[in-house]
Structure 1
Amino acid sequence: MAGATGDLGFRIAQALLRRGAAVRALVRPGNLKPEATVLRDLGAEVLEVDFGSVTALTTACAGAACVVSALSGLREVIVDGQKRLLDAAVAAGVPRFIPSDFCIDYTKLPEGSNRNLDLRREFNQRLDQAPIQATSVLNGMFTDLLTGQAPVVLFGLGRVLYYGDADQPLDFTTIDNTAEYTAAAALDPSTPRYLRVAGEVASARGLQRAATEATGRPYKLLRAGGLWVLGALIRVARTLAPAPEEVFPAWQGMQYMHNMFSGRPTFAHLDNARYPDIHWTSVREVLAARHA
């Protein structure tokens, strides 16, 4: 497992351990994050490895049934770093690989509409050419972001902000549910190329209802304009504050919202039922926990 000391990766590793899996967490030399200690105490093997060396990664991957990547970054990580990890997995004879996707369905989006998702698409094109079974987990948007990081549910104003159509379906899944599902998929040798899940599919109008129920306070819809307005805001934000070395600058989050409100990446079907032991957390539950 690569990226096991990050937020999502840490949760995936714990979910794997709860399912009885033997987990080998690959960390960079000198990693002092408390997550590494927690994983070690839970029974995981925490192995320091040079992520710049395919040879070192190959040794680290030896004997694994599945390599799971939860790495986060830009080109040097998502494309170049994962390519080295992929080459190592193939060289070590690992049968399966789960890349660090965990997002909306980028396969339906035009190139150039989202920088971070373009990088995932580029890596997956390489992954599809490799002699290894690959499975991507697509989960829409992390529901957890609605509690503050994503400016959609405006708690102070009692509004739900949206662009375009208030009835456009949007896919949401909590980080915990994504981690649980990924762990189950990692232990399932028969997974397809893509698995699409959503803890809840809700429109802006549905978010309005959920926020009202979760807080006991009436929320209203606030339409900021059509998608062209958000597109213009993205161009302005990217010009004034490009922050090319940041993984999640403001304009990147705006690109993600534009993608979602466009309806293009909306899942045509869901694979939630594949692992029936998972309890899917609703938007209302997440908002209620924040409000408590």
Structure 2
Amino acid sequence: MISTPSHLPADAQTVALAGIGGDLGGRIAAALVARGVQVRALVRSGSTVPVPGVTAVSVDYADAAALVAACRGADCVVSALNGLEPVILDAQGRLLDAAVAAGVPRFIPSDFSLDFTGTQPGDNRNLDLRRAFMARVDRTPIRATSILNGAFADLLTGDAPIVLQRPRKVLYWGDADQLFDFTTKDNVARYTASAALDPAAPRFLRIAGDVVTARELAATMSDLTGRPFGLWRAGGLGRLGLLIRVVRALTPASDAVFPAWQGMQYLRDMASGRGKLAPLDNGRYGTVSWTDARTVLAQGL
């Protein structure tokens, strides 16, 4: 039996969290602790928990009984697992089965993406995995909530090939006025914590810390730096699709979650508008301090 930590009230809600070792998972755990939630982190034997106030529970995902015991008594199971089919379908699937067997009323899968319900099957490997898991979770009696947040705004100053500092250009494909959804990881984590405590949360919650175009990003960078930032149209969506096929064919097979061609697939789903989030559920949990793209870019400078 897993008891409530002494610093929490006996009636504190309990959330079982998988994936606390990841960047987003750790942020979700911290957001839950800040709300006075008993967070039960499901970790592999020998793993440490990086967030104070969290109860670590060692589990083996191949041990169904142990997983059920780890989930029992939780008000919600949140998955922040990240990976390919062995993680998103297999390990997360076993977590889902354990949550159902333990009688947990609610489950938040590790989606955290643009709106894959509107994208084309076969166009994006990672979103296809989420689509497959959606079909699986919807066959169970558990109440599931997927949180869709567009792209992580944090990537605007790092890995996303959009805002290019050296040539002072904003790279885009297709239409410079296509709207993009960006949400910081901290905003996603805090919203997820609120959703985990919401027994009436719907099947999908769509959020965006900011909605901007490539043209607006260029104008923002010009304003922030005091130097002109231009637009660089790399081509249409057809050319991007061809480039994806070429890069994928030339990339050695690996278990990398985000190879270059996968990021390009994600960018194509944004540039096409098929992954656009609408309507937004930003106001469901009251006033939230959403971090806009300008703030992220300013911090990056």
Report if TM-score (shorter chain) is over 0.5: yes
Q: Deviations 1:181-238 (Å, cap 9, x if unpaired)?
A: 0011001111000000000011111111222233332211000110111111101100
1:147 is matched with 157
Greater shift in the superposed pair: 91-100 or 50-59: 50-59
Contact in 2 for aligned 1:65/1:95 (Cα 8 Å)? yes
1:156 pairs, out of 166, 172, 175, with: 166
Cα shift at 1:153: 0.2
Between structures 1 and 2, the one with greater helix share = 1
2:40 is matched with 24
2:132 pairs, out of 95, 108, 122, with: 122
1:78 and 2:88 aligned = yes
Q: TM-score, normalised by structure 2?
A: 0.93
Whole-angstrom CA distance in 2 between matches of 1:215 and 1:272: 30
Structure 1 residue identity aligned to 2:186: D
Q: TM-score, normalised by structure 1?
A: 0.96
1:102 pairs, out of 112, 117, 121, with: 112
Cα shift at 1:245: 1.4
1:271 pairs, out of 270, 276, 281, with: 281
1:214 is matched with 224
Whole-angstrom CA distance in 2 between matches of 1:216 and 1:53: 58
1:10 and 2:10 aligned = no
The secondary structure found in structure 1 opposite 2:276 is: coil
In the comparison of the two structures, how many residue pairs are matched? 285
2:179 pairs, out of 144, 149, 169, with: 169
Whole-angstrom CA distance in 2 between matches of 1:215 and 1:68: 40
Whole-angstrom CA distance in 1 between matches of 2:133 and 2:225: 41
Greater shift in the superposed pair: 240-249 or 43-52: 240-249
Contact in 2 for aligned 1:138/1:196 (Cα 8 Å)? yes
Q: Deviations 1:91-142 (Å, cap 9, x if unpaired)?
A: 1000000000000000001110100010011011000010100000000000
Q: Deviations 1:34-73 (Å, cap 9, x if unpaired)?
A: xx1x32xx21101111022221110100100000000000
Whole-angstrom CA distance in 2 between matches of 1:283 and 1:252: 23
2:7 is matched with none
Whole-angstrom CA distance in 1 between matches of 2:59 and 2:241: 42
Structure 1 residue identity aligned to 2:228: P
Whole-angstrom CA distance in 2 between matches of 1:54 and 1:69: 16
1:232 pairs, out of 235, 238, 242, with: 242
2:255 pairs, out of 216, 225, 245, with: 245
Contact in 2 for aligned 1:243/1:249 (Cα 8 Å)? no
1:59 is matched with 69
Cα shift at 1:242: 4.2
Contact in 2 for aligned 1:4/1:13 (Cα 8 Å)? yes
Structure 1 unaligned spans of 5+ = none
Give the direction of change, closer, same or farther, for the CA distance of 1:276–1:212 in structure 2 (3 Å limit).
Answer: farther
Structure 2 residue identity aligned to 1:31: S
Whole-angstrom CA distance in 1 between matches of 2:226 and 2:196: 40
Structure 2 unaligned spans of 5+ = 1-16
The secondary structure found in structure 2 opposite 1:268 is: coil
1:47 and 2:63 aligned = no
1:196 is matched with 206
How much identity, in percent, do the aligned residues show?
Answer: 60
Give the direction of change, closer, same or farther, for the CA distance of 1:243–1:249 in structure 2 (3 Å limit).
Answer: farther
2:100 is matched with 90
Structure 1 residue identity aligned to 2:274: R
Structure 1 residue identity aligned to 2:208: A
Structure 1 residue identity aligned to 2:30: Q
The secondary structure found in structure 2 opposite 1:160 is: strand
The secondary structure found in structure 2 opposite 1:212 is: helix
1:281 and 2:274 aligned = no
Whole-angstrom CA distance in 2 between matches of 1:5 and 1:171: 26
